[in-house]
Structure 1
């Protein structure tokens, strides 16, 4: 029975005594308190032991037959008429409720699953020991605080607890990672539910489980599978992919750690966000994740920057006949990919209105074709990729903040090549061997001068650019040549690498020259980002198209000499 209902049901019992403490009358229910039906003209102390002198004018709590009662005693005197009034109020339910709360807390603290409960204001009511272990936080730090303060949300609206409280819709079987001490990630499976009483949501709770131990075991299984696959040539082209994790090359600690994290994320259900600069291999990771988790299903990829805005919606959602001039019944990628994986590359280039529609699809797991009146269930896993820092994109209104929080529950950051320098020489040798075989050359290495030049280069195009450079080096080598040197660099590559080296090495420069170099670098980066689309690059730089064309001519920027491939 609810606490408030028990209060309403419980009524005080009035007992009237004479001067000798003899019971003269009592209200209904007193017989149940003392366990005897006959009590009139009996002494009150024979049933309930009270020190009337100490109780007079005070309120006390006493035990009567293993129950708790709140007692008030007062005298009524008028002329020669004297009576003693005793009020008894059964408050056993209060102690029972306190006992229940204590038992519940003991149970919660013995559970292996983490539990968080927040009230209607968003304050944390309960935070059990298992949750402390999962997150590396303490109960005393969290209870009583707003949930968005504890988890550093920018606003209460970004808190899932507040979303569930407002909508009443639970979030079931989601995943997220928590950073604990020493930057160790622990992956947590959780569900969040509303607590509804008489049609009104009064609180929200989450139940979380630690997936990390299971993932470690699964990682061992993955490694065994990979060792087995090395002796077998597995063809993935039937599902739309060409890469798996064995194709991601490198010897650095950071790239190997990233691959292990990606393998773990592949085994978790839920959408995934990849963060990495142009050329780091985001689609390679996306395909590898798909192939280790769902190899028999389809893999579709869309570059949101390359697809025209007016085609993006119909490509994703599909169309119905007659929805617009010339439209036909056609499946969109959401439907055609089935239970496979849809990879949305350069999500930050997607128009904001389309980001809003994508957010709705992710929230409801349903979509509607353009022109259709009914919805279809979304069955696929969606992997999104962005090529800039998410905070910067949100700040510049290129990425909706609520969409970022929705897609970043599972997140993988792919490091740029300049942050794993030890991989540069390894990749140079790997790509020399690869393209030497392809082109039927006998190249076995490169001069120290060329190696040092390439090692010091910053590689803004990352691994993709490095492979392109090596391929061009091998192409330019003669049939008798076995060692590559700087003379094998094509003119446009030599100019690009030397310009970058000169900019980094210069300590003193004239102001106009420095400004020109900075301007040139910004323009080239923007052009490569938008595949040398002048209109989009100008918009990104905040200038008009004609101004960009003029500056390109002035700074001698051409696609032939400055393209990153």
Structure 2
């Protein structure tokens, strides 16, 4: 008996300390558990809710709009349901709720709801949709509000870059789906826009959506639209697929999209129509999909982030944009391009990098790729005064910390006389990683494969050893 009391005390402490709101009703619809997080969310005092009928306290709800009462009646669980209502202070809040019936010895004893506050996220998503709608050109306005990138904006002369560009140019002549893989900062959206603006769809909308920017429940409404009455506060609003009809939609970081939403996206690709959330009508669409991933596609499949069937649907045309460290011929070429660009924008007269900086640039690993290179040049151009050559003093020190290290070596003998076992193992591991990175010119995927570990594991170890 004493152990049961201890367990109950522990459970009460846990429920009162978690961030998610917890609300439990008995079979009569009265509250028997209501934690502090739920009270804060709904603007209530716990004592005003406990042991009272739900509809007596929340007068804006009814048996249909309350997920708790609906589950209590139907005994069917509801997972990740969006709900918008007025709390006791008259403030509109939006939550994501999971609601399940509770049983004891096969008898229903009540219903449990766990709620997460997404009011701010909901407002943000609505603002994003409103702004995106404004950016879509119509017959009455000219589509010059956002920067359009074409193949002429893609700069490089290395063979690997040229190969990617050649595939992209050919893809522009079709309407097939495209999957672009490239690390962060390699220019995936520039490639996607270039394909669109050289395609027969060039005069139709191009809409980009980052799949990692919003939770799945909100992203679904943004992509597919909502129907009035589908949940409290919902209005009739077309999603991005309807808005992009006839044009192209870019789904950036597709591997960050939830698996349930990936199933719905697959259905759109297969059947050519969308259905708004809560709607019954199928809306036919003609949209080309370009998707991007910043991790190797097969690794995301093996890791469970990307469905294999969706991958094969998207990967009709595959484009791999090489990392800047694998485009050594392009580093100084792009540096000169960015110097000229910011000479014009900042009214400067810079000619080049110093010889020592050229060596640093060629030895640096460029984890942020072309975006990092451009940002570094822009920063240096803001600092330099009346000089004509960019030198070490114009750049952050971390570049030199990475490039001034000794060449990694894998030694055949390690003096372990004063080493503990853990230190010795870490020393060997670090040397093996350095040697593998050197062998594959800094290519993390190839080095990880050579070491027999996952890419994510190698990235973690690189941070650990500050390599």
Distance 1:501 1:312, change over 3 A: farther
Distance of 1:419 and 1:257 partners within structure 2: 13
Alignment pair present for 1:324 and 2:200: no
1:281 is the counterpart of 2:187: yes
> What pairs with 1:90-239 in structure 2 (closer than 5 Å)?
238=144
Q: Is the 8 A contact 2:226 2:234 kept in 1?
A: yes
CA distance in 1, matches of 2:339, 2:299: 37
Q: In the alignment, is residue 495 of structure 1 matched against residue 398 of structure 2? A: yes
Residue 308 of structure 1 and its aligned partner are, at CA, apart by 2.7
**Structure 1 segment 360-375 matched on structure 2, within 5 A:** 360-375=267-282
SS of aligned partner of 2:365: coil
Conservation of the 8 A alpha-carbon contact between 2:224 and 2:274: yes
Q: Which 5+ residue runs of structure 1 have no aligned equivalent?
A: 1-235, 520-539, 543-547
Q: Can you list the C-alpha shifts for 1:281-334, whole angstroms capped at 9, x where unaligned?
A: 110000011100122111100111122323110010011112122211111100
Using the TM superposition, give the Cα deviation of residue 413 of structure 1 relative to its aligned residue in structure 2, in angstroms.
1.5
Assess if the C-alpha contact under 8 Å between 2:183 and 2:295 holds in 1.
Answer: yes
SS where residue 180 of structure 2 aligns? strand
Match among 233, 250, 253 for residue 346 of structure 1: 253
* Distance of 2:227 and 2:210 partners within structure 1: 23
User: Which residue in the other structure is 1:457 paired with?
Assistant: 364
Aligned to 2:156: 250
- Taking structure 2 as the reference length, what is the TM-score of the superposition? 0.57
Report the CA distance between 1:489 and its aligned residue: 0.8
Cα shift at 1:397: 0.9
Residue of 382, 391, 400 corresponding to 1:485: 391
Distance 1:344 1:407 in 2: 11
1:433 matched to which residue of 2?
340
1:66-103 alpha-carbon deviations (Å, 9 max, x no partner): xxxxxxxxxxxxxxxxxxxxxxxxxxxxxxxxxxxxxx
Hey, what does 2:129 align to over in structure 1? Answer: none
| Higher alpha-carbon Rg | 1
Work out the number of aligned pairs and report it. 291
CA distance in 1, matches of 2:428, 2:335: 31
Distance 2:143 2:351 in 1: 31
**Deviation (angstroms), 1:502:** 2.7
Distance apart, 1:401 and its partner CA:
0.5
1: CA distance, partners of 2:339 / 2:428? 35
TM-score, with structure 1 as normaliser: 0.48
CA spacing shift, 1:464–1:518, aligned 2, 3 Å: farther
Is 1:271 aligned to 2:174, yes or no? no
Partner Cα separation in structure 1 for residue 404 and residue 306 of structure 2: 33
Paired residue secondary structure (2:405): helix
Correspondence list, 1:411-426, <5 A: 411-426=318-333
Q: Which stretch shifts more, 468-477 or 359-368? A: 468-477
Q: State the 1:238 CA deviation.
A: 3.0
Q: Is the 8 A contact 1:432 1:443 kept in 2?
A: yes
Q: Determine the structure 1 residue equivalent to 2:299.
A: 392
Alpha carbon RMSD of aligned pairs, Å? 3.1
Q: Distance in 1 between matches of 2:284 and 2:431?
A: 52
Separation in 2, partners of 1:318, 1:517: 53
CA shift at 1:257, angstroms? 2.8
Deviation at 1:395, TM superposition (A): 0.8
